[in-house]
Structure 1
Amino acid sequence: MMETVHTHGVWMAEALQKGTIEYEKLWLFVTHMGDPKAAFLLHFPMVYYVNRRTGIAVVWVAAISEWLNLVFKWMLFGERPFWWVGESRLFIENPPQVQQFPATCETGPGSPSGHAMVTGGVWWVMASALASFLRSRTRSRLLTAVPYLLYLLVMVAVGLSRIFILAHFPHQVVTGSLTGFALGVALNHTVPEWRPLMFFVRWCMGLLVGALLLHVGLEHLGVDLSWSIALAKRWCSQSEWIRLDTAPFSSLTRDCGAMLGLGLAQFWKPGGWTLPWVPRALCLALSSLALYHVNRVPLPTSPPFLFYSLYFIRFALLPQVVMVFVPGFVHLLTAKNKKD
């Protein structure tokens, strides 16, 4: 049955590539915007300076959703189209006319889609917050429905982009989207806006230790959790497209770092700074610039433990930049101007 599902998924990817290849740059942009890293680097600062609680919710939902996605991938052993086409040996006589892209060759298992799952959770938080705002201000059902229609459009676009680049089969996108939606609805009611630092330390350690224990347990049972990495390296058309930041442990260290960083940011400055809209816009510009350069800093990939440690620190710093450093700097500037 899964062979049939995978086969039809490959033909769908082929049809999508043939029919929309002129929109290649658009698909690559959409898949980039759906990357779990984008939740921390792009969506978080944009939302935080509009509404503090929703910004915190973005980090909270992104971290837990991506962690659960890692656990599901370890347990479900999902194939990816770009390697399954070669491994299955079903297309020797009639190979599909498909191509790979720089974002294709992710090294983790494919089921469910992490892009769809994290996007489903994070964008639900943002869409529901905007819908609540519009409902309270306009009382218009039509305007209130707009954020939810945008949510559906984003989910469809991200899902199709993942199929287009051969990163996922359609059923992996669907399951990831539905799971992300459910997590977004559930976790949006448990946003840790005023929690103490130890709450985040415990969550950080719980995510890290829980994943490591599961990894050790599965390895002890004879499960080879590096199987997908070997297949990705074997079937990726360009070796330089294999990146360590797509490995399963990269998502784990990213989520744990962001969780600890969120706690530290609220510990240093509980409640944050109250800034008018113009200083907030300045904060957004400075934060975006800072996160862009922080993310561009190259990290050594050998030994892997050093990379993961530095990757953890990088994402632990992100909430500090957005919630503490930049707003504090802008607050000092605006306070000085008022005094003058």
Structure 2
Amino acid sequence: MEILHTYGVWMAERLQLGTKSYENLWLVVTHLGDPKAAFLLVFPFTYFISKRAGIAVLWVAAISEWLNVVLKWMLFGERPFWWIGENNLLPKVHQFPSTCETGPGSPSGHAMVTAAVWWVVITAVARVIYARTNSVLLTAVPYLLYAALLVVVGLSRIYILAHFPHQVFAGAITGLILGVVLGQRVPEGRPLLFFFKISFGLLLSAVLIHFVLKEIGINLSWSIALAKKWCSRTEWIRLDTAPFSSVTRDCGALLGFGLAQSWRPGGWSLPLAPRALSLAFSSMGLYHVNRLPLPVKPHLLFYCLFFVKFVMVPLLVMVIVPGAIHFFTNKRKRD
């Protein structure tokens, strides 16, 4: 592993020195690859184009991120920004606000969730292209863009010292497999009880796994201590990057998905213009929901409120905003 870690730091150094003029682009890409973006950006955008694809994005994002957390607990995995300090290395590299994540590094969550979620989107686009053109060449274009996206997101994670190359590669391969498998098993039309069981089942499973690993002597707080020790700035350590934040986000989104489907089965049927309006208002709503400040102490209160915040995401996108648009557009027609 030392060879892989040393090579990874060398690659990060080369990237930072050789592409310094593209620094802002790398930071934007790493934000777009954040698992949170799958819920707040990719899901609403996809949903208002194709409901089934949007639902698949939400489902795949939640399950793949939850599994990523579990894999990180079991596989551990150093992160470059603290490994450099622990090994007294002095490469010409620097950190960024997105660098200092507190969970273990392997596999990369950004690469894993991006690979899983965008596989769903790309295959849906490819099917439409093939149905309309019957051209294999044109159908291959989305898959080439998909591969390019994974490369760029992976390089951005190496650039900011969040991951080693082998962690990015492992995340991308695992995410691709999950995208293929989960994308074919989307739970449309399931009763609320199903989502209640899935949501709290995954939450309790994560707590149980954490408890068992702790009981057998595995210190799951090791990465948090290292992140706090070697992060350049204290304010860059955020509770919403902790593993349990990911778990509560995933479980909250799944419960919200179930509530949305039970509240309005099949969603709202809207023409193109109202759908575009719904996307705009949903995006604004999610922006403000995401920016809601939450108390970080006690931690249990933070996680509960974080859970509720992401319960609201599917409700806003699937029911509240399109329902309001449907009501007002129909009212105008009647008037």
Q: Same fold (TM over 0.5)?
A: yes
Aligned counterpart for 1:148 among listed residues 143, 147, 157: 143
The alpha-carbon deviation at position 191 of structure 1 amounts to: 0.4
The aligned counterpart of 1:124 is: 119
User: For 1:96, what is the secondary structure of its paired residue?
Assistant: coil
Aligned counterpart for 1:161 among listed residues 152, 156, 164: 156
The aligned counterpart of 1:36 is: 35
User: Paired residues, what number?
Assistant: 335
Written as runs of structure 1 = structure 2, the 5 A alignment for 1:166-185 is: 166-185=161-180
Gaps of 5+ in 1: none
The aligned counterpart of 1:302 is: 297
The alpha-carbon deviation at position 260 of structure 1 amounts to: 0.3
The aligned counterpart of 2:244 is: 249
Aligned counterpart for 1:318 among listed residues 313, 317, 332: 313
The alpha-carbon deviation at position 150 of structure 1 amounts to: 1.1
Written as runs of structure 1 = structure 2, the 5 A alignment for 1:87-98 is: 87-89=86-88, 91=89, 95-98=90-93
Structure 2 letter corresponding to 1:276: P
Written as runs of structure 1 = structure 2, the 5 A alignment for 1:44-123 is: 44-89=43-88, 91=89, 95-123=90-118
The aligned counterpart of 2:328 is: 333
Deviations 1:24-44 (A, max 9, x none): 100000000000000000000
- Provide the aligned C-alpha RMSD in A: 0.6
Written as runs of structure 1 = structure 2, the 5 A alignment for 1:281-292 is: 281-292=276-287
The aligned counterpart of 1:201 is: 196
Deviations 1:124-145 (A, max 9, x none): 0000000011111111112211
CA distance in 1, matches of 2:270, 2:292: 30
Aligned-residue identity in percent: 66
Structure 2 letter corresponding to 1:71: V
User: For 1:261, what is the secondary structure of its paired residue?
Assistant: helix
CA distance in 2, matches of 1:22, 1:334: 47
Please give the TM-score of this superposition, normalised by the length of structure 2: 0.99
Deviations 1:57-88 (A, max 9, x none): 01100000001000000001100000000112
The alpha-carbon deviation at position 194 of structure 1 amounts to: 1.1
CA distance in 1, matches of 2:284, 2:311: 17
The aligned counterpart of 1:266 is: 261
Deviations 1:252-307 (A, max 9, x none): 10000001000000000000111000000000000000000111111000111111
Deviations 1:134-179 (A, max 9, x none): 1111111122111111111110010000000000000000000000
Aligned counterpart for 2:235 among listed residues 236, 240, 250: 240
Written as runs of structure 1 = structure 2, the 5 A alignment for 1:219-230 is: 219-230=214-225
CA distance in 1, matches of 2:264, 2:100: 40
User: For 1:109, what is the secondary structure of its paired residue?
Assistant: coil
Structure 2 letter corresponding to 1:66: E
User: For 2:24, what is the secondary structure of its paired residue?
Assistant: helix
Please give the TM-score of this superposition, normalised by the length of structure 1: 0.98
CA distance in 1, matches of 2:228, 2:17: 26
Deviations 1:174-227 (A, max 9, x none): 000000000000001100111111111111111111111100000000111000
CA distance in 2, matches of 1:151, 1:338: 42
The aligned counterpart of 1:217 is: 212
CA distance in 2, matches of 1:106, 1:291: 23
Aligned counterpart for 1:277 among listed residues 269, 272, 277: 272
Structure 1 position 24 matched with structure 2 position 23: yes
Structure 1 letter corresponding to 2:52: R
The alpha-carbon deviation at position 232 of structure 1 amounts to: 0.1
CA distance in 2, matches of 1:121, 1:97: 33
The runs of at least 4 consecutive aligned structure 1 residues that moved more than 4 Å come to none
CA distance in 2, matches of 1:173, 1:284: 32
User: For 1:82, what is the secondary structure of its paired residue?
Assistant: helix
